[in-house]
Structure 1
Amino acid sequence: MSHADEDSGDFAPSASTGYKLTLDQYAQLPAEDESLARWKASLGIAPSGPTTGPKVTVETLELRSTPMPGKKIVLDLTNETKNNPIIIKEGVNYNFRITFKVNHSIVSGLRHIQRVKRAGINVDHSEQRLDSDSYHPHPTGEAYVKDFPEEASPSGIFARSGTYAVRSSIVDDDGEIHAEWDWGYKLAKEW
């Protein structure tokens, strides 16, 4: 069973409406319009660009906290972290930073959806919009960076018992999953 089949309701983004064009449709818009041509060039839209492979590539997901030695933990997005959970100190403020690239298509309404389970029971579910309504490929290959709001880690003996299993996903307005990975963490008295 694929991740998309499991708990699909947890990863369904909020619905939004709007007119959507594909990258090829944008490229086909009239070239005679000078301002439109400049706008398309600024987005890196060209009718002959590559259109294969993933639309979005997540490069890094970092856990950042001021009191943490080293100030950040970069998660391994190959699902190795699922079997080797990271340690988060209890009762500290932290946030996540995601770095991603848009490869060959304009994508709209990207969201980071995350579900946290402990002992098989849902304990948290969050959905964060990645700021912009739409993203386009940068002609220079530059990545986008999004810092999520700060939150506090739970504390206490019950919070420290057990491992938290997390499924993270990057989904667009059309419900297309662009990236998905599982990881885990444990809470401890110290990093």
Structure 2
Amino acid sequence: MSLAIGAASSSKNMGFDERKDGGEENRISGSSKGIPPPSPTPTEEALREGEKFNRQMSEASLYGTEEEDDEESKIELGPQCTLKEQIEKDQGDESLRRWKEQLLGRVDLESVGETLEADVKILSLYIISPGRPEIVLTIPEDGKPKGPWFTLKEGSHYSLKVAFKVCNNIVSGLKYTNTVWKTGLKVDSTKEMLGTFSPQAEPYTHEMPEETTPSGMFARGSYSARTKFVDDDNKCYLEINYTFDIRKEWPST
């Protein structure tokens, strides 16, 4: 639920060294009595390298200029299988077997059955600020809280904590995204990877990194936002569209 206004950018320089064959060229010229040396014929390997380099440069140019969209690019994953099938696969690979035991050690296979789809239930959301009681955010069934969902003090430190439960199957690449607007302009966009989780009876908890609300006369006021929890398949488990306020002081409790 990042409210800080700012952006970070990164750039990657690409280059290659020119090959110098001057010594070989001079030796050929000296023995040919003034006859210009023939142009070297490119080998198939050189042609492949050139094609690969051009393709890399083309892809880098595309990725460098492509604007971020609200929708995540869908990742192509392998075919889905049940939890029992995943455990039975690759029995001969010792490293995979140990990894599966570590990830799935607490899973009751009899309770998960043969379900392909993971189910993630977001149970609770909390705003934590040093020296203040936790703010418990009630999640409405329609995903649209009535009125401002919460109020934060300007310049205050806070973090968001989420409790969730995973059932039926492994959820891969669960992540949190949050986009904030003020007077119709996007002022912040946040993504936080929660991770990959196996089903278990006890809920998981995850606390986001601490952030600071903006301060000053122009920072105060009402904001609108959209929070989503999605996985690697872009399956959305919760979407909340809401408003919140930043004020000079915390609201009275």
TM-based fold match above 0.5: yes
Secondary structure of 1:59's partner?
strand
* Residues 1:25 and 1:146: Cα distance change in structure 2 (over 3 Å): same
* Structure 2 residue ranges without an equivalent (≥5): 1-67
Partner Cα separation in structure 1 for residue 97 and residue 79 of structure 2:
18
Q: 1:94 maps to which residue?
A: 158
* Residues 1:32 and 1:109: Cα distance change in structure 2 (over 3 Å): closer
One of 197, 205, 218 as aligned partner of 1:135 = 197
Partner Cα separation in structure 1 for residue 77 and residue 231 of structure 2:
12
Higher relative contact order (CA 8 A, sep 6+): 1
The TM-score with structure 2 as length reference comes to 0.59
Residue 29 of structure 1 and its aligned partner are, at CA, apart by 3.8
Q: 1:152 maps to which residue?
A: 212
Secondary structure of 1:26's partner?
helix
1:68-83 to 2 correspondences below 5 Å: 68=132, 70=133, 72-78=134-140, 79=143, 81-83=145-147
Are the aligned partners of 1:26 and 1:45 in contact in 2 as well (CA < 8 Å)? no
Residue 57 in structure 1 maps to residue 117 in structure 2 = no
Partner Cα separation in structure 1 for residue 69 and residue 82 of structure 2:
26
Q: Which amino acid aligns with 1:66?
A: P
Residue 167 in structure 1 maps to residue 226 in structure 2 = yes
Residue 46 in structure 1 maps to residue 109 in structure 2 = yes
Are the aligned partners of 1:60 and 1:99 in contact in 2 as well (CA < 8 Å)? yes
What's the % identity of the aligned pairs? 30
Equivalent pairs counted in the alignment come to: 177
The TM-score with structure 1 as length reference comes to 0.77
1:64-112 Cα offsets, whole Å, 9 max, x none, are 00133x2x11112214535233110100110000111101110111110
Greater share of helix residues, 1 or 2? 2
Greater share of strand residues, 1 or 2? 1
Partner Cα separation in structure 2 for residue 96 and residue 61 of structure 1:
7
Residue 177 in structure 1 maps to residue 241 in structure 2 = no
Q: Which amino acid aligns with 2:204?
A: Y
Are the aligned partners of 1:113 and 1:127 in contact in 2 as well (CA < 8 Å)? yes
One of 170, 180, 183 as aligned partner of 1:116 = 180
Residue 57 of structure 1 and its aligned partner are, at CA, apart by 0.3
Higher-Rg member (1/2): 2
Q: Which amino acid aligns with 1:103?
A: C
Partner Cα separation in structure 2 for residue 74 and residue 142 of structure 1:
20
Partner Cα separation in structure 1 for residue 204 and residue 242 of structure 2:
22
Partner Cα separation in structure 2 for residue 190 and residue 173 of structure 1:
39
Are the aligned partners of 2:104 and 2:198 in contact in 1 as well (CA < 8 Å)? no
Partner Cα separation in structure 1 for residue 209 and residue 232 of structure 2:
21
